Copies of this chain bind each other. A is one copy, B any other.
Amino acid sequence: MQTGKKSQLFLYDTTLRDGTQGEAIHFSLSDKLRIAKRLDEFGIQYIEAGWPGSNPKDFAFFNHLKDLELKQAKIAAFGSTRKAHLGVEEDPQIQLLLQAQSPVVTLFGKSWLFHVLEVLKTTAEENLAMIRDSIKFLKSHGREVIFDAEHFFDGFKADKGYALECIHVAEESGADFIVLCDTNGGSLPWEIGNITAEVLSRCRTPIGIHTHNDGELAVANALVAIEAGALQVQGTINGYGERTGNCNLISVIANLELKMGRRVLPPGKLKELRELSLFIDEIANVRPNPRAPFVGKSAFAHKGGTHVNALQKALNSYEHIDPLAVGNTRRILIGELSGRSNIILKAKELGIVLEENNPNIQRILNKIKELEAKGYEFESAEASFALLLKKTLSPYPPFFNLIEYHVSIRQLPAKNYKVCEATVKLSIRGERIYTVAEGDGPVHALDRALREALAKFYPEISQVRLEDYKVRIVDSKEGTASSIRVWVESTDGKRNWSTVGVSHDIVEASWLALFDSIEYWLLKKTEEQT
């Protein structure tokens, strides 16, 4: 019995597993934990966190499962059916899946006979037994089991009978979900639609869809399967993944919610779509795609004169959705004038009231444009933005002034000699402070020298520490003379704040971000005391 077209649809994210198969995509353990937390808050129902049997980092994630305190998402461990001709209980990979202690296990198994014979080098019957034993074993240990039928569409096209037999065995063995995978990403939308419909007519278990973008059809293929009745959709944020990538959940979610009337997120969450996309790109250190559907910087950018003119008459004349619905904004590329309301809203968030006609708004907009042209980006550096507002809106005496810094890095490989040293000269309340410190690198040394200089006046500075530090080349085509953006997140144990600095010199860019960070902390401290 099909569960019905309008039944609940589940989002299944595999950014942390299939996403990391993408070229140049790497996450540290702490990255993975942050991402899982964010996906849970956003409302993703299943989070595939890794393959415990493939590498130690993937396994380590599961040791931290309990500390994550997820609100609603279920974590899935990924693995394969047991090895051929090996008892399921003796299979070390299956044992690791159990040890992962995740509520859900996603098992992939073959459904394309060619793969069974040529890659697994086993028989059609043994593969069915591998599917059966593995699912039954994990079900007997209380897991929710999702069966990913690898290469299902290719298998179906080559030998429909065998592909359906694999599904049948998975169903009989108690799989909770059977997911049809277009592993090589080469199927066409109508093939996906027809085959999914045929499986649904022969299967009582809920069906899911897993697509890849090799034909530039991943999102369409997922939507077509859902339209046919699939109730789970697997993909990754921003479509990360091997080769051309997995199905992009960002576009799937927006199409489902805005075009197909399917509610897949908690109320109010769709507006965070762009933010989520940028958050994941930032952690992966991937330059956001400006042309990304729904969430890209250019997704609602209008250049053509005809279009801009029409937009003035009717906003939806050249836009398929309201950009605000996904947290994006319209941009007019010629004679651009937008953003006043953004400034007012942002200032309000920071406790600064700005009237609509305040002339300072234009000054702030001009300043932002000037800084953005240099490579600044304030979206994720609210403390730097708050300082900018403060400095523009009222007289602002700095807490300290830099007179000079000097950094020296010397390396003699044959003598195994290396030293990195920074000196800092500041004036604070009329007094001159001069400090020196060593560090692992130039920024580390400078950070230490600065803290030491400030410690006499602000001993609590020892509580302030850096939480996170990121570097991004703004326009890397200029080689080592490129502009560099440094982003820093700081904490004093009570709150976190982020700052940004830009320069052709990485040391200066880091210094600017560190300077803002300390300045912001001093400002907040002063505000609290008065």
A202 to B220: give the CA distance in the assembly, Å.
Answer: 27
Given A215-B219, A310-B119, A506-B506, A189:B409 Cβ within 8 A: no
Given A293-B216, A506-B443, A337:B55 Cβ within 8 A: yes
Q: Is the CB of A337 within 8 A of B23?
A: no
What residues of B have a CB within 8 angstroms of the CB of A466 in the complex? 479-480
Given A23-B380, A244-B293, A299-B244, A188:B504 Cβ within 8 A: no
Within residues 444 to 489 of chain A, which ones have a CB less than 8 A from any CB in chain B?
A: 444, 446-447, 465-482, 484
Q: Is the CB of A505 within 8 A of B119?
A: no
A336 to B56: give the CA distance in the assembly, Å.
Answer: 10
Q: Is the CB of B185 within 8 A of A320?
A: yes
Q: How would residues 2 to 33 of chain A score, 1 for a CB under 8 Å from any chain B CB and 0 otherwise?
A: 00000000000000000011111010101000
Within residues 120 to 151 of chain A, which ones have a CB less than 8 A from any CB in chain B?
A: 121
What residues of B have a CB within 8 angstroms of the CB of A409 in the complex? 405-408, 442, 505, 507-508
Is A441 interfacial (CB 8 A cutoff)? yes
Q: Is the CB of B477 within 8 A of A21?
A: no
Is A259 interfacial (CB 8 A cutoff)? yes
What residues of B have a CB within 8 angstroms of the CB of A106 in the complex? none
What residues of B have a CB within 8 angstroms of the CB of A481 in the complex? 439-441, 444
Q: How would residues 299 to 337 of chain A score, 1 for a CB under 8 Å from any chain B CB and 0 otherwise?
A: 111111111011001100111110000000000010011
Within residues 262 to 283 of chain A, which ones have a CB less than 8 A from any CB in chain B?
A: none
| 7 additional A-B residue pairs with CB within 8 Å, beyond A28-B477, A118-B313, A215-B219 | A23-B297, A190-B193, A213-B293, A403-B414, A440-B504, A443-B480, A444-B505
A322 to B10: give the CA distance in the assembly, Å.
Answer: 34
Given A23-B298, A220-B189, A441:B508 Cβ within 8 A: yes
Binding site for B on A (CB under 8 A): 20-24, 26, 28, 30, 54-55, 57, 80, 114-115, 118-119, 121, 183-186, 188-190, 193, 213-217, 219-221, 223-224, 227, 239, 242-245, 248, 251, 254-255, 259-260, 285, 287, 289-294, 296-307, 309-310, 313-314, 317-321, 333, 336-337, 377, 379-380, 401-414, 418, 420, 439-444, 446-447, 465-482, 484, 503-508, 510-511, 514
Q: Which of B28, B320, B467 contacts A215 (CB 8 A)?
A: B320
Given A298-B22, A305-B54, A216:B442 Cβ within 8 A: no
Q: Is the CB of A30 within 8 A of B477?
A: yes
Q: Is the CB of B444 within 8 A of A119?
A: no
Closest 7 CB pairs of A and B: A186-B320, A466-B479, A220-B220, A441-B505, A440-B504, A216-B251, A216-B293
Given A23-B298, A404-B412, A510:B318 Cβ within 8 A: no
Given A23-B379, A299-B214, A439-B480, A184:B471 Cβ within 8 A: no
- Minimum CB–CB distance from A51 to chain B (whole Å) comes to 9
A243 to B114: give the CA distance in the assembly, Å.
Answer: 43
What are 27 A-B residue pairs whose CB atoms fall within 8 Å in the complex? A22-B291, A22-B298, A23-B290, A24-B377, A26-B377, A28-B474, A54-B337, A118-B313, A184-B318, A186-B320, A215-B293, A242-B303, A242-B307, A243-B299, A244-B299, A402-B413, A406-B409, A407-B442, A411-B508, A420-B505, A441-B508, A444-B479, A447-B480, A467-B479, A469-B476, A469-B478, A506-B506
What residues of B have a CB within 8 angstroms of the CB of A440 in the complex? 481, 504-505
> Closest residue to A227 on the B side, CB-wise?
B190
